[in-house]
Structure formats: C-alpha cells, structure tokens
Structure 1
C-alpha cells in the first residue's frame, strides 16, 4: 500500500487553504450582499455567523481530516460506513463547483486576452448597426441589418441553449489544461503553486484599491458600502444570506478541508489554523469590497446616478459593471488586464484545491486501482477532460441560465444541510475521537457553538 504523501512545509497547507477559501465569491458576492442587505449592517450577521458557524465547522472538518488521514469518502470507513453518504455528498458538491469555477475562469481568461489591445473591445459596439452611412441615393428598408437580428447572442430562455461559443470553449479548455498540469503530481506540485496563487491576488487587489481611491466619486461608493441600515437586521433573509456566504466563502462541507488536512502531520495545530484562516478570509472579503465600491462610486459619478443604480451582483458585477467602469479610466487596458488577472488567479487558487478534493476522494476510495503511477496521472487527466465536457452546456448562448441555477441551488443550502449532519455526527456520535478532539481544542468548541445554535 503506497505511503500517503504529506505537505512539504506547514506553510504550504496554510496557503492552500487560504487559496481554497479566498476565491471569486470574495470579490463579487460579498460586496453585493453588503449592498443588498443594509451595507455595513450586513457585517454584524456575517461576523456572528463566522464565529458561531464558520470557525467551529472549519475546525471540525480540518481536525477530522487530519485525524483520519483519508479523503472525504474513505475517511468514514474508519468511523462509521453508515455516514459515508456525507462524504459522497461533499464530493458531489465539489465536482459541480469545479465545473462552475472553471466556467468563470474561462470568462476571465477571455476578457484577459481581449484586454491585451490599445483599446478595450467593449468601449463601443463596433458592429454593423453602429456604422454611419452617408449617401444621396434612395435606400430600401434595411432593418434586417439590425444587430439584434444578425448578431444576437442572447438566448430566449433556459430551454433555448443556442450555439456553443467556441472562443469561450477554448478558454475553458486552456483552464482545464492548467488545472491538470498543476495537479498532475498531487499535493507535491500544488504545494508549490499556492505560494503564488494565494498571495498574488492581494498584490493586485492593493494596486486596484489605490487606483480606485484616486478616482473622483470613489468616496461616495465607499460610503454606500459602509453605511449601515440597521432596520435590515430584522429580516431573516439577511441572516440566511450571511450563513450561506460563510459556508460558500470558507468552502466548508464540500470535502476539501478534510482532503487537504488529511496530508497534515497528526500533531499539527488544528485550532490555530481553524481560527486564522477563516479570519483571513473574512478580512479579504471586507478588503475586496473597498476595491469594488470605489470604482462603482466613480462610475456613478460619471453617469450622474446613485451608486445603487449601477450595482449588480454575481457575474454582472465582475463582467459587466466593473469592465464598463474600466473603459472610463486612463490607460484602461492596463487596469482591465490587472483586474481580470486577479479574477483568474483567485479562480485558479480555489479551483486547484476543489479539483484536488474531488480526485483525492476517489483515489483514496480505490487506492489499488487509481493510486499507482501512470494510472493516477491518467485518472487526473480523465477528470479534467470530463469537467471540460460537462461544462460545455454552460458555454452556449443560454449557458448563463444554467450557471445561475448552479449558483442558486448548489452553492448555498446543500452545504448548510451537509454541515448540520456533519456537526451532529462528529460532535455527538463518535465518542472515540474525544481524546484527540479535546487535545486540539475542537470537540467542546464545536459542540458548544454549533450544535446548540442549530
């Protein structure tokens, strides 16, 4: 039986979890939720959910994975096969998130390549409907030349997928090739790459923040971001959004924390990691909000509109509103390249760990079949190839509808449900882990703060 690999240095594990937790949701999802749920008032339920849900469950999963030393599926064989479905559920969610993340990365790569020009392509329409015709001749009705007839790329609905966008498909293929290259040797190669992917986004965020704060009207966007509407705290939706965002942002209950921690030394300080990494993630979300809303304030100033009227959530914020704002800046291609490079780096940092989680789950479940030399590499190649093919429907003209379905129904409450069951099972059923969990300060912490709250 091959010996299980371990992280080369403890710092590799920390950077991997930081990259796993800090992702695209910190840039577009958290700032929009603040806007939607009362500005600065949203920080109150967010921090409460972080302390009462995020940190305890994060610590429980890391401790459980470190104790068992197995992937998120096979780890239950050593505790109780009856709850093996929890591991399978986490792996299933991770697999879907892999496809979801890679679609967003493909968009980011497409915009990144499109930004490498003297003039951003979306600064004007540049199609047949925008050409100025001057002639003294009589013209027949040429309304059929309208771009909405000839160049329409919008689908009529979820049942109308339309044609496949080949340019986005090539970007998606490139993304999966990068994932395979990084994960071809497992954590040995992943542990080296995370030094860049986990730190470089902070450099780009800082550059964009400095540039954004120098823009006229930026202070209005920041005030809008921070101004609290305390009356929103009585709305249950605000609290549910905070809980869902904590689980989504920390990547909890997806099997990844167990998988990454399974490569730790048995004596690693779990409590330190369980507190430090969620706090870093929370601070990053808050920091990214300044980057986004400083630019939105500038855009509102340019349009003469309130900030609320130029704000969108999700992909619309990252790929519509923000890019449009970049066109109004001097040297706009440079800032566009930096912004989309940051998005791609954030996406890859989460995608690497999510894909490794999915692969680790099956490799540990079938070690004799998949954990030997060339078979392991071939399996990783097959996973990346399958992910590329399964993501193609989301790259059609109607693919955005499918992406919205994944965002609405897969990334939120399924993880909350898995988290509830994990808390009950680990904290109350498995008494034989008492000594270990108490030794690292997790058992009572998880029970007191999570179970009673639920």
Structure 2
C-alpha cells in the first residue's frame, strides 16, 4: 500500500504545494473545475481535528493518572464490578440438590453456600482491570450514543490543555511549530528504543515478536474490504496524504527544494518507524501473554483498545509500571501533537489563502480562533457518549472521505491537467531527469494508484455494515449523521464545479474546457522561477478576481 499508493501521492502533493506555494484550496488553480476537492480535504481535516485532540486528551489523562505509586488499573479497585478479573469467571455450574443434579447460576450457589460439582463449571472471559478502568473511570462510558450523559470534567480539562499546547506551539505559525517539532518528532524514537530494550529483556517477549512478524497471522483477514480501507486510511493518515496538510506544509518549501528526496526519505522513515514501534509494543504484549498464560492473539487489541486497554494492562504488570506508563503516554502525546500541528496549519493556511488581503496579517487571531472553535465543538466528544462520537467521525470522514479525495486528486492532476505536463513542472524545481527515472511514477500515477484506490473504495462501500463500538451498534440517526458528514464534505466538489462553469464564458462545452485548464494565475509564486513556460502568468499580487481562462470560438485561451 505504501509503494503503490502512499509514496506516489506523497510525492505528487509535495511537488504540487512546493511548485505553487499555495494551500490545499488555492492550489487548485491548476484545475479550477476540481477546486471543490481542496475544500473537501480541508473539511475532512476540520472534522478529524475535532476528535483527534480528544485522543491527545486521553493520553494526557492517562499520563497524569500514572503519577502514583501504583497504576490505578493494576487491580480491580472500588470502581470495578463482579466481572473484573484477569482470569475466566464461572457463570454457571452443576450442583446436587435432593439427589438431583441441576445447573444453576454461580451467584445463586454463593448465596446459598453450595459447592459446584468438579468439572461442571461454565466460564466466561473476565474483563481486565484496564478495560473496566477505561470504560468506567476514564470515559465514564454510557450504554450507547442515545445516552449522551454529562461532560466528563477531567477529560474536558485535558482537552482544554491539549488545545492550549497546540495554540501555543502554532502561535507564530510554521516558525514556532517548526522548533517544537524538533522535540515532538525525535522524542518518540528515544521512548521506543527504551521500551524495546526493556521489552526484549522480559520473559515471553519472543512470543509477541513472533506474532508481530507473522508467525501466527490470520491471512483470511485480507479477504475483508474493511481491512484494505483501514490500511489505506492508515497510510494516508501517517503520511498526511489527501488531507491537505502535505500541500499546506510543502507550500513553505523553497522552490528548488528536492521534494523527490523528501518524499523517499519521509515515506521510508515513516514505514521503518512503524515497524520499529511494532517490535517495542509487541515484545511487552508477549510478556503479558506469557504471565497470563494466554496466546498473544488473546491479549492483542486494535485501535483505542490497544493504546488504552491492552498496553496499559501490560505496563501495569512491569516492575516500575508508573514510570513506563508515564513514558509511554507522553510519547503518545508528542506523536498526537505532531499530527495536530499539521492539521491546524492546513486550516489556517487555507483561510489566509482564500482571503489574503484581510487575513495575511491576522495569523495569531486566526490560529487562536480555530483552536477555540474546535475546542468547543470537541466537548461533545468528552461527554459520557464521547467515545461513540469519536469512533463515528473516524469511521466515516477519515475513511471514505480521504479515499474519495485521493482518487479525484490523482485523476484531476494526472489525467486532466496532464501527467507529463506535471512532470515538467516538477523538473523546473528538481532539474531534468531521464525517462527511466519517471517510469515508476508514470505507472503508478496513470494506472496503478487510481485503480487500486477505486477498487478499495467500491469494495468497502459494497461490503458496508452498520458501525459499532464495543459491540454496541450505532442507532439509525447516528449512521445517517455519519453519512451526512461525509456528504457535507464531498458535496462541495460538484458545487464548486458548477460555480466555476457558470463563471466561465462561452457555450457549455467551452465553459467545461476552460475550467479544465489552469487558471491564468497558476504557476510559481516568485517571478524568477517562472521561466519561459510561465512568463505570461498573471502576477499573484496583481491578480483579478476572475481566475478561469475563457475560450474563444477557435478553442484557444484568450
């Protein structure tokens, strides 16, 4: 997935933003008909940013909760119920009453001071202390999305703190966040190395690593459409592809920066980091499986359950558990902040690009205003039903929405604007290359990547099933809301296409053709880089409101 979709799209977006020095909406001067794709990217980023800081808030809460002599989820404490146990729980068994053997509930047996017949016990898995702590204490989770409940005040405070950190880091834009990123990007490597060394010295670590590298893999999962959709989403999220963030951040690069080298280094580093992190995580999960007498597959969770149930449970069983827990959740905090910086930068860059005369000198108010609005919107995600909202937005917007924008982005730039033309633009920045250099990129951009993404999108839509969280299905209104969010995001694609066609001149065919050509102000931002190809480009500083080239009766731009 990385080689066939992630890397080609990363290089494409990195080149696009760097070439024009524009954000994810304004950069669609390259193809006015598709400007709605940029708006969709920003809206998806907006929705995801609402809940992503909630995950950072969870990390903050767990980090603060770890500052104790014993981790609060190490044992079944006052908040636990009768199902809290690391061992299977007896629910029913056989007893002898008046010379007759009957099967009864275990609680009835205990109440009547009776004894089960040996070997007749019926077991059910107990709930780990970390699982009950996550649901009953951290989230105070309600029974379903219909039951909103109250705002969990300590999560709301953690959410506020998370937004204060983001706002402070982005106070002066890319200059201030760039300095913070030196720490947030490098510190996780230190933590992962420490966790790997510690995990490798534990009994059972080899079981976890063996499971991780595929010795016990369930390859039938590859037949599930949801797995492929999640894989694509994860690649896009980790690389910031199809979210608009990569275009926004690349717009700050120097024009002649080697974006090809950047793409290769970043994608490979990202991939190797994920593999490295897997060894650190699964070595400790293997130890947990060893001491509990279970298979690794029985202790491994996915998604939120891995970060806030399985791994905290494993850390609680280590000597010096609080120290390792603080280290782990501080690492999650720094990783989350990295992603959040890019998301907020995407939103603020877009606002400034759309209203340059008014907004260019208002970066600080825009940044702080965005943080405030997103904090208020995120309060619904720290109610007792908050986790259901987080999962709902993640399921719809971060899945299909990103796939749709990625497909339209590559179709618009490579198939309509022209892949060869785009390659010429890239060569203006990194220098001319031989045909063999572009062979792989042409194969991916023109054929492999769009076909792969379309297949995953269609397959996942055909195999759609009602989402659920913790085996609790979402109500009809929540599913409708999820579809409503994604429709609201993508509806701007046809809306902006219609607006651009109406603004153009000529008959309907001429209007469509003109909207499929670059705007008159498309090209490098600085005049010294425009060369012969863009010598007639309208200066961005002197541009008029109308950006769409008109088509004369002879089919040539006027």
The offset of 1:129, in angstroms, is: 7.0
1:248-263 matches, within 5 Å, as 248-263=237-252
Q: Is the 8 A contact 2:415 2:446 kept in 1?
A: no
CA distance in 2, matches of 1:68, 1:444: 24
Q: Secondary structure at the match of 2:398?
A: coil
Check if 1:451 corresponds to 2:446. Answer: yes
Q: Secondary structure at the match of 1:312?
A: coil
How large is the RMSD of aligned CA atoms in angstroms?
2.3
Residue equivalent to 2:478: none
Structure 2 residue matching 1:199: 3-state secondary structure: helix
Contact 1:60–1:443 (Cα < 8 Å) also in 2: no
Deviates more, 1:434-443 or 1:165-174: 434-443
2:291 corresponding residue in structure 1: 302
Partner residue of 1:219 out of 206, 212, 232: 206
**Are the aligned partners of 1:60 and 1:446 in contact in 2 as well (CA < 8 Å)?**
no
Asked if the contact 1:56–1:445 (Cα under 8 Å) also holds between the matched residues in 2, the reply is no
Alignment correspondent of 1:235 = 223
Distance 1:75 1:414 in 2: 19
Q: Which residue in 2 is equivalent to 1:398? A: 385
- Structure having the higher helix fraction is 1
Instruction: Kindly state the Cα deviation for residue 317 of structure 1 after the two structures are TM-superposed.
Output: 0.7
8 Å CA contact retained: 2:205, 2:285: yes
Aligned-pair CA distance for 1:176:
0.4
Check whether the contact 2:236–2:242 (CA below 8 A) recurs between aligned residues: yes
Q: Is contact 2:344-2:367 (8 Å) kept? A: no
Aligned to 1:352: 341
Contact (CA 8 Å) 1:245, 1:412: kept in 2 or not? Answer: no
Deviations 1:79-117 (CA, angstroms, capped at 9, x unpaired): 232211111011111112212220010000011111112
Residue by residue over 1:38-85, the C-alpha shift from the partner in whole angstroms, topping out at 9 and shown as x without a partner, is xxxxxxxxxxx2111111110000000011111111122x32322111
Aligned equivalent of 2:89? none
Corresponding residue of 1:264: 253
Q: Which residue of 1 aligns with 2:61?
A: 110
1:209 paired with 2:161, answer no
2:95 counterpart of 1:95: no
Note the alpha carbon deviations across 1:306-354, whole angstroms, 9 max, x for none: 1111111111111111111111111111101100011001111111111
Instruction: Report the equivalent of 1:39.
Output: none
Instruction: Compute the displacement of 1:215 (Å).
Output: 1.2
1:427 to 414, 419, 422: 414
2:399 matched to 1:412? yes
Contact residue 48 and residue 394 of structure 2 kept, 8 A: no
Q: Aligned with 1:410: secondary structure? A: helix
* Distance change >3 Å, CA 97–CA 128, structure 1 → 2: closer
| SS at 1:412 equivalent | helix
Change (3 A) 1:236 1:313: closer
1:63 aligned to 2:42?
no
C-alpha separation in 1, matches of 2:3 and 2:51: 28
Q: Distance in 1 between matches of 2:168 and 2:288?
A: 39
Which of 143, 146, 156 matches 2:143?
A: 156
Query: How far has the Cα of 1:233 moved from its partner?
Result: 7.8
Q: Which secondary structure state, in structure 1, belongs to the residue aligned with residue 272 of structure 2?
A: helix
Provide, for residues 387-421 of structure 1, a one-character-per-residue CA deviation record: whole Å limited to 9, x for no partner. 11111111111111111112221222221111111
Distance 1:233 1:220 in 2: 21
Residue 154 of structure 1 deviates from its aligned partner by 2.8
| Residues 51 and 378, structure 2, Cα contact 8 Å, conserved in 1 | yes
* Mapped contact 1:218–1:298 kept (Cα < 8 A): yes
**Residues 145-176 of structure 1: CA deviation (Å, up to 9, x unaligned):** xx99x989331211111111000100100110
Match of 1:33 in 2: none
Q: Does the aligned pair in 2 maintain the 1:438–1:444 contact within 8 Å?
A: no
- 1:5-55 deviation line (CA, Å, top 9, x unaligned): xxxxxxxxxxxxxxxxxxxxxxxxxxxxxxxxxxxxxxxxxxxx2111111
Larger Rg: 2
Distance (Å, rounded) in 1 between the aligned partners of 2:221 and 2:79: 50
1:328 paired with 2:317, answer yes
Q: What stretches of structure 2 of length at least 5 have no aligned partner?
A: 83-131, 452-558
* 1:443–1:90 distance in 2 versus 1, CA, 3 Å: farther
Q: Which of 81, 84, 104 is residue 32 of structure 2 equivalent to? A: 81
1:384 pairs with one of 357, 362, 371: 371
Q: Provide the rounded CA distance (Å) in 1 between the counterparts of 2:289 and 2:370.
A: 44
**Distance in 2 separating the partners of 1:337 and 1:99:** 25
TM-score, normalised with respect to structure 2: 0.66
**CA–CA separation in structure 1 for the residues paired with 2:221 and 2:173:** 44
**Secondary structure of residue in 1 paired with 2:22:** coil
CA distance in 2, matches of 1:108, 1:339: 9
8 Å CA contact 1:247, 1:412 repeated in 2: no
Higher relative contact order (CA 8 A, sep 6+): 1
- 1:139 is aligned to none
Whole-angstrom distance in 2 between the partners of 1:168 and 1:122: 17
Measured at CA, do residues 91 and 63 of structure 1 come closer, stay the same or move farther in structure 2, by a change above 3 Å? same
